[in-house]
Amino acid sequence: MSVKYVGYYRVSTQQQGRSGLGLESQRNAVREHANANGTLIGEYEEVVSGNSTKHTVLDEALAQAKREKACLLVKRLDRFSRRVSFISWLLEQGVQLEVVEMPNATTFQLHIYAALAEEERRMISLRTKAALKVAKDRGIQLGVNSKVLAIKHHNDAVEFAKQTLAGVHTANRSYSSIARELNELGLMTFKGERFYPQTVKNMIGYLGIREGTMKV
């Protein structure tokens, strides 16, 4: 009997979602695998951190998979989640998970791979903290790197604001109305959340648009 698949694609930032590069790669891999082994009956994609516990679109994908007795299909295990507990929870729901890059992996193996990946991230964090402590003990000015990082974050914010507000009329409009328009367009903030008036005000500030042209 032909296997039914529900494809799920995830990227961590709005910028990745807009570029389409990460999503396109996942889409192509999932579709190719599904066409070769069964039928793709649904596709879902969202922009959310792999460490987040809020996956609205994923919940919809899981609901269809359970309803249709289909298999949830992802390209990579980390595109589903980076949390072992979350993967365990899914498998407890009775939904089969299949990974394109590990097509023959059993449930037990998926748990092991997820656990190893989670432990590696923990060790990287510990090594980074240890290295920073050593550098600080040696008198290295970490603030220099912090300033560089701050500049990078600012430049990223400016670029994101430019892309987001491109084509959006801002003069003589309230931050609330602009936020509402961006939400209606299905866009999300840099962190993958809904837009709010304060978010829009911050972006306007990054672009140096004079607030005198805006309604509060």
Residue 172 phi, psi dihedral angles, 5° rounding? 55, 35
The CB density around residue 183, as the number of other CB atoms within 10 Å, is 13
> What was the pLDDT predicted at 140?
61
Same domain? 21 vs 107: yes
Same domain? 101 vs 176: no
Same domain? 97 vs 168: no
In a domain, 124, yes or no: no
What are the start-end ranges of the E strands in 62-195? 71-74, 97-99
The CB density around residue 11, as the number of other CB atoms within 10 Å, is 24
pLDDT(215) > 50: no
In sequence order, the 6+-apart residues with CB closer than 8 A to the CB of 16 are 22, 23, 47
In a domain, 125, yes or no: no
> What was the pLDDT predicted at 213?
42
Q: How many domains does the chain have?
A: 2
Nearest to 167, CA basis, from 183, 178, 156: 178
7 φψ region: left (φ > 0), alpha (ψ -120 to 50), beta (else): beta
In a domain, 50, yes or no: yes
Same domain? 81 vs 168: no
Same domain? 171 vs 77: no
**Token digits of residue 120:** 């590696």
Same domain? 146 vs 105: no
In a domain, 171, yes or no: yes
In a domain, 119, yes or no: no
Buried b (16+ CB within 10 A) or exposed e, 101-120: eeeebeeeebeebbeeebee
Same domain? 190 vs 155: yes
Per-residue model confidence as pLDDT tens digits over 88-144 = 777 777 788 899 988 888 777 877 777 777 776 677 777 777 777 766 776 665 555
In a domain, 206, yes or no: yes
> What was the pLDDT predicted at 142?
58
**Token digits of residue 9:** 């694609």
Query: Cα separation of 198 and 189, whole Å?
Result: 12
> What was the pLDDT predicted at 118?
73
In a domain, 89, yes or no: yes
pLDDT(1) > 70: no
Q: Which domain holds residue 203?
A: 141-213
The CB density around residue 80, as the number of other CB atoms within 10 Å, is 25
Is 50 within 8 Å of 56 (Cβ atoms)? no
Residues forming a β-bridge with 8: 44
Q: Is the full-model pTM beyond 0.75?
A: no
Kindly state the DSSP code that residue 84 receives in the 8-state scheme: H
Residue finishing a domain among 114, 132, 150: 114
Same domain? 104 vs 169: no
Q: What is the CATH number of the domain that holds 75?
A: 3.40.50.1390
Per-residue model confidence as pLDDT tens digits over 10-64 = 877 654 444 445 788 889 999 999 999 999 999 998 877 655 556 688 889 989 9
